[in-house]
Amino acid sequence: MPEHAQPKLAEVTPLRADPLPEEVPPVGEPTPASTTKSDLEAVAELAEAHDQIVAQIEKRIIGQRRVVDQLLVALFARGHTLFVGVPGLAKTLLISTLAETLNLSFQRIQFTPDLMPSDITGTEVLEEDHTTGRRVFRFIKGPVFANLVLADEINRTPPKTQAALLQSMQEYKVTAGGHTHDLPLPFQVFATQNPIEQEGTYPLPEAQLDRFMFQIDVDYPTESEEEEIVRQQTSDFRPELQRVLSPQRIMQLQELVRRVPVADHVVKYAVALARATRPTTPNAPAFIKEAVSWGAGPRASQFLILAAKARAILAGRYAVSTDDVAALARPTLQHRLILNYRAEAEGQRAGEIVDRLLSAVHP
């Protein structure tokens, strides 16, 4: 879908931003009624905000509801996301629209083979004070200093430059010239990757892939959706977006996600799924041992639970089910599976293997 000029946002009153409780009682102790009431009210607020955010996004994006829902899960679970799809499917427009709807700062970095790490994180320049004649270094912030960073075609730059994002994605900090600089919060990286062009691309290192909570596959629209896209994008239609949440409230709701309780059987199911992807595990299915060289690590099961929590409260539920885990298994696990040569030669795909895994591993 081609992008068009971004209209000015309409000013509206944001959803209430009363602070959430800062302290949470230890596990096993009774929760005060006021804390429970506040959290439950916040869950209801987030469910309402979810519908409002989707409504704003749908003003510009036709279809792709699964992609939008998974994107919002990643946002409130505080997870970075890799989007894989051919050009022209509105990946960039989707992220920029989300940033505008939530009043977040947005930066797009076009990854190219000649991109340097300092082009992402920033650089130090030598300046002279004309009054004293003293020379000092001043750090000029790079485009990574934004709430939402779009790393466009991230696999087109060498691993050295890709690695410039590792500290930012893990610690929300940038170190340059011996000094550490904090990134603005909330901070998340959304990266895109073209699956059909292999010339001039560099595979993402496994350490960086593991830092992405999701790999979301962006598919072609349906015929009716594509017809609507053509009608909308070839007209003078310029929708106005409304702000739904403030950055401060988003951070509070991200903290709420971590307070959502999870039953033991749900945790066991998430761990069982992650462990079943490892061919060296004794109870791994036969098709995993035949097709997979390396499976998902412990970060995968953590992300499964965090994502399931976010999915639950976005639906207005203050409890996580195994269905939440299963629904997010494919985007969470597929980029963490390294297939062997035989599986690649046969054209097997990691996402399809995860789908088979869901049939083999039961809650």
Averaged pLDDT score across all residues of the chain? 85
Q: How confident is the model at residue 173 (pLDDT cuts 50, 70, 90)?
A: very high
Asked whether the predicted pLDDT for residue 15 surpasses 60, the reply is no
89-129 per-position pLDDT tens digit: 888 889 999 999 998 999 999 998 899 988 999 988 888 77
Asked whether the predicted pLDDT for residue 10 surpasses 80, the reply is no
The pLDDT of residue 17 = 40
Per-position DSSP letters for 208-241, written without gaps between them: HHTTEEEEEE-PPPPHHHHHHHHHHHTTT--PPP
Average pLDDT over residues 276-295: 92
The pLDDT of residue 6 = 44
3-class DSSP state of 182: strand
Q: How confident is the model at residue 74 (pLDDT cuts 50, 70, 90)?
A: very high
The pLDDT of residue 99 = 92
The pTM of this model reads 0.82
Structure tokens at 221: 């629209």
Distance of alpha carbon 168 from alpha carbon 188, whole angstroms: 9
Residue type, 248: Q
**To the nearest whole percent, how much of the chain has pLDDT over 90?**
54
Average pLDDT over residues 128-141: 80
Return the closest-CA partner of residue 330 out of 362, 291, 303, 292.
Answer: 303
Asked whether the predicted pLDDT for residue 355 surpasses 70, the reply is yes
Asked whether the predicted pLDDT for residue 9 surpasses 60, the reply is no
In this structure, of 199-208, 303-312, 339-348, the range with the lowest mean pLDDT score is 199-208
- Length of the chain, please? 363
The pLDDT of residue 27 = 35
Structure tokens at 270: 């998430």
Q: How confident is the model at residue 161 (pLDDT cuts 50, 70, 90)?
A: confident
Distance of alpha carbon 256 from alpha carbon 310, whole angstroms: 9
In this structure, of 17-31, 80-94, 268-282, the range with the lowest mean pLDDT score is 17-31
Greater pLDDT, 226 or 208: 226
Structure tokens at 214: 């999701």
Edge to edge, what strands does the sheet with 212-217 contain? 106-110, 148-152, 188-193, 80-84, 212-217
- Domains belonging to the chain, first-starting first, are 30-113+147-251 (3.40.50.300), 260-363 (1.10.8.80)
CA-atom Rg of the chain in angstroms: 22
Average pLDDT over residues 337-343: 92
Angle between helix 298-314 and 247-259 (nearest 10): 110
22-54 per-position pLDDT tens digit: 333 333 333 433 346 688 888 888 888 999 999
The pairs formed by 174-183 with CB atoms below 8 angstroms and a separation of 24 or more are 174/121, 174/122, 174/142, 174/144, 174/145, 176/118, 176/121, 176/122, 176/123, 176/124, 176/139, 177/124, 177/137, 177/139, 179/139, 181/122, 181/139, 181/141, 181/145, 183/144, 183/145
